[in-house]
Amino acid sequence: MTKVLFICLGNICRSPTAEAVFRQRAAYAGLDTMADSAGTSGWHKGQPPDSRAIEHGLRRGYRFEGQTARQFENLDYGRFDYILAMDEKNLAVLRANMPDTFSGVIGLLLDFDQQNDVREVPDPYYSGPDGFERVLDLIEGGVDGLIKHIKAPVKKANF
């Protein structure tokens, strides 16, 4: 089973959306996966995803039941194969605390999207509806690339 953790700042907008999109598309692709999300801050701990993230996600058929914001913790390095941040700032936090023993993948979700040069999912918290649609567009591309990667990880040359 491949275990994936999505990371943003508050764990109420971007990473819960990535979790919902990934869960649906991974199931559709027939992959054996587990997904979760967390924030580098604990500001919204215990809260459900932002109602705007839910509203925009639901329109595209994504489901957010059972999601509750939590803060990333060091134990997460031992729980997941992929820990993927929505932007560089949050990635820096993940890199700064990473133990030497971590053998998984830490990076930006959008780096899995070969069709798009955008590397960060912009924070939509203070934006209007367009911001939430943009988050979905970017995350869908990143998730599709991630699923391709999980299905067929780049093989090492066999000398």
Catalytic site positions: 8, 14, 123
Task: Compute the C-alpha angle 35/141/23, nearest 5°.
Answer: 20
User: Judged by CB under 6 A, does residue 7 bind ligand 4NP?
Assistant: no
Are 139 and 121 spatial neighbours (Cβ–Cβ below 8 Å)? Answer: yes
Q: Which is nearer to ligand 4NP, 13 or 147 (CB)?
A: 13
Please identify, among the stretches 8-16, 21-29, 72-80, 136-144, the one whose residues bind ligand 4NP according to the rule CB under 6 A: 8-16
Distance CA 147, CA 76 (A): 21
Using the rule CB under 6 A, which residue among 27, 29, 43, 73 binds ligand 4NP? Answer: 43
Using the rule CB under 6 A, which residue among 42, 125, 137, 149 binds ligand 4NP? Answer: 125
E runs forming strands in the chain: 2-8, 33-39, 82-85, 105-108
* Residues near ligand 4NP (CB under 6 A): 8-14, 43, 123, 125
